[in-house]
Chains A and B, each alone.
Chain A
């Protein structure tokens, strides 16, 4: 039963990836109209247009182009960047690790913080500290990421002068320099992601806390600590794991803003540059990577909530 549901979700996940690739392809390759026209612009003559179209495969029907693009994508050939003609794979390769390292560090810091704070707030609802946490996190999720980032710059770079406002990495930095460079974007992302996670963890626990079985535990004389850690947490674990996965997916959009504002040389910055110069092959490739990560994380969230459901784990 449970295995079947997990497999079913996996199947849906693969189908979703496929659909996402179609959407990305349609928007970036068909919506803009004639790419050859865009590339050549004013200098286009009918002959050069035809030649470029043939070179780009534009004379083929769209589904053939789609499948050849998908095939190339799967084999790691991401095409050639319009700007500079560099291979997209090599462009991405140099950037993707920066983004992954940052996302990893942010997760490592924010997950424990969020769970502890969320649990703590749920255990003491209505106290002053709970209200501060609630108000603080609500405010944080209400404002754009760039607002947090701007405030960070104002405090740490302009007023305290501890950290650089923007950075220009050459790739030869040692660890401490790299860490200093990453500090501001990381702090920003940790704040943004944790706020959401704290709220959802707190809400998840409180939701469980209003169940009749919690009242029963109180009436059985079970101490507060055990009620939270055994009775409530065991039921909230599914929602919480779900929250974590969802918020790591949320990092995708946070990363875009943060890398831009701090000029952090990651994948998102590469993509934004691509959008600004309308380098469609590059945008296509980056978008597919981000979307794939997003879909996979959502899938993990889904599977986690199946695995943590006692009714499914212990069937009749």
Chain B
């Protein structure tokens, strides 16, 4: 039986007005319906107009935009043509909004409780007392700590993941018919994302509320949506039930989006390296490095970030470094590049020990190890032409001038698949993906031996990011450069790296060839990471929550420890008296695969079998 239609979006058009007064269409005639209790996902990349469309259901446009036509009907009443006062009475009461960054959308000067209940009380839905009570119930449903007290706190006094859930409470307090969720988990770490996603799904279900879920992440969509609308440049490409769009996409663009989603990180993804580059000698080696910030006291950094790190990068290999934010991945790359001198330990390049700091390194050593920054936006000087940005290393390291330099710049632009005309442009005139290519090109211009890539795809849209990875693979095959590839995204790392290093709280917990790291036995943290990567499969969220490591792992934060195993407080197998007091030994397995854990190989294997059984039981 067809459910009652709640929202009807018909031929919606939204335009911007440029400085010259020219109207630029942003949303170009979009139609879709939302039924009661249904979650509709709007997916698309940046510039697709998904957020703009979602805000239309609150009769709102961002400053600079305006409605140019069409209607958005809520229970038959058109919101766009309504009197402003009536529009206001809809916002927060009938339709509620959840923004991407809760940290920015909570007012820092007011208590959480006041903000959560504000809209319900203002619209006369509940009185203050009832609203506070309802808020407490919601806190409980969202599994927030201290439901009675958390309302008295200020936004800066709770964690990011909690704030994200509190925003859901804020939206739900007035019992809205429709919730608009705008990329609510994008800014979160994978393990936090699961926790928030789970909470959202639960309350949406319990409240029987309809929702618009805006995201670029197909795997997330698969977990939460009933109906999917695929957008590109303000137009609907394809829409239909979630199951059909995900399993049987029709439109070529949707298929392209699907391709860009990295497959689940499993063994066999790591590519074999071309034999001519594979000299199996260490190119760059990190030995017993401890590093941090704030200066050193007795050889120990004041704010320690990395502890006793051993990593080696073989000639022509790609070493992927993975871990959650704050685990020290970027710091490791900075230590390698000499931007942060290590407090202890050595960096060895081609068998020669490198000085810790930039000033003491030789020019030829600097040239051989190049760092690629995460954000191309800030890594490229906005006041320099692309030609000068790429030309500078050529001039600086190789003494190229004039015509010769110019020709080489064109050659390098070609290498990163950009036209040579780009040399006379400024970074501002390029798109995000193009800028990231220039960023890479500058490092390539130095003709390095090792390229340190720090989260080079995280700020990019999925298709653009996938193209950059493709480019990197080509470059590796063509040039034989070794890569250190840093990312928080395990799937990306798995598809590109020959070896994987798993960092947790500044220590290497597991490392080895990709194919070894991604099959059991796992370090408990690696397992948590693997289980947290959303799969593009309906029902994955429920499955993964069955796993034992999830219960302990996702709701706790990272703690730096100086004794014992840093993962102790999140580990389902933690042994009191051992794990929290003694530094774990290194378990050496096949092919240089190493796991740093107190459990024996047999114990680790047993845990694996246990998980298998739980999952099978859940399925049956």
Residues of A at the B interface (CB closer than 8 Å) are 211-213, 215-223, 226, 230-231, 234-235, 310-311, 314, 316
Contact = CB atoms under 8 A, between A and B. Distances in A.
B118 interface: yes
Interface stretch (B83-91, B331-339, B412-420, B576-584): B83-91
B293 interface: no
Given A219-B91, A220-B92, A311-B156, 12 more contacts: A212-B99, A212-B105, A217-B107, A218-B60, A219-B92, A220-B170, A221-B90, A221-B91, A222-B119, A311-B154, A314-B153, A316-B157
B106 interface: yes
A116 B512 CA distance: 67
B421 to A, nearest CB: 37
B122 interface: yes
B228 to A, nearest CB: 24
B93 interface: yes
Interface of B: 55, 58, 60, 88-93, 96-97, 99, 101, 104-110, 118-119, 122-123, 153-154, 156-157, 170
A316 B156 contact: yes
B106 A221 contact: no
Contacts of A316: 156-157
B97 A219 contact: yes
Contacts of A221: 88-93, 119, 122-123
B86 to A, nearest CB: 10
Task: Kindly list the 5 A-B residue pairs having the minimum CB-CB distance in the complex, ordered from nearest.
Answer: A221-B91, A220-B92, A221-B92, A234-B109, A212-B104
Contact of B105 (A213, A222, A311): A213
B108 A310 contact: yes
B39 to A, nearest CB: 19
A222 B90 CA distance: 11
Contacts of A211: 104
B92 A223 contact: no
Contacts of A215: 105
A316 B97 CA distance: 27
A306 to B, nearest CB: 14
Contact of A219 (B58, B101, B122, B123): B58
Contacts of B105: 212-213, 215-216
A316 B159 CA distance: 11
Contacts of A311: 108, 154, 156
Contacts of B107: 213, 216-217, 231, 234-235
Contacts of A231: 107, 110
B106 A223 contact: no
A235 B108 contact: yes
B110 A234 contact: yes
Contacts of A235: 107-109
Given A219-B58, A234-B109, A234-B110, A314 B119 contact: no
A82 B92 CA distance: 73
29 contacts: A211-B104, A212-B104, A212-B105, A213-B106, A213-B108, A216-B105, A216-B106, A219-B58, A219-B60, A219-B91, A219-B97, A220-B96, A220-B97, A220-B119, A220-B170, A221-B88, A221-B119, A221-B123, A222-B122, A223-B88, A226-B122, A230-B110, A231-B110, A234-B109, A310-B109, A310-B154, A310-B156, A314-B157, A316-B156
A220 B157 contact: no
Given A217-B107, A220-B91, A234-B110, A314 B58 contact: no
A304 to B, nearest CB: 15
A212 B163 CA distance: 15
A212 B154 CA distance: 17
A305 to B, nearest CB: 13
A208 B552 CA distance: 40
A220 B180 CA distance: 12
A279 B134 CA distance: 74
B396 to A, nearest CB: 41
Given A216-B99, A231-B110, A234-B109, A223 B60 contact: no
Nearest to A233: B109
B90 A212 contact: no
Nearest to A211: B104
A215 B106 CA distance: 10
A226 B88 CA distance: 13
Contacts of B55: 219
B384 to A, nearest CB: 30
Contacts of B153: 314
- Of listed B60, B88, B170, residue having the most chain A CB within 10 A: B88
A213 B154 CA distance: 14
B375 to A, nearest CB: 20
Nearest to A214: B107
- Of listed A215, A219, A230, A310, residue having the most chain B CB within 10 A: A219
A301 B77 CA distance: 52
A217 B119 CA distance: 9
Contacts of A218: 60, 91
A213 B104 CA distance: 6
A316 B577 CA distance: 31
- Of listed A221, A230, A231, A314, residue having the most chain B CB within 10 A: A221
A234 to B, nearest CB: 4
A231 B118 CA distance: 11
Contacts of B99: 212, 216
A223 B96 CA distance: 15
Contacts of A212: 99, 101, 104-105
Nearest to A231: B107
B8 to A, nearest CB: 21
- Of listed A213, A218, A231, residue having the most chain B CB within 10 A: A213
B273 to A, nearest CB: 46
Contacts of B97: 216, 219-220
Nearest to B108: A310
Contacts of A230: 110
Contacts of B90: 221
A218 B87 CA distance: 11
Contact of A314 (B93, B154, B170): B154
B156 A223 contact: no
Contacts of B96: 220
B571 to A, nearest CB: 26
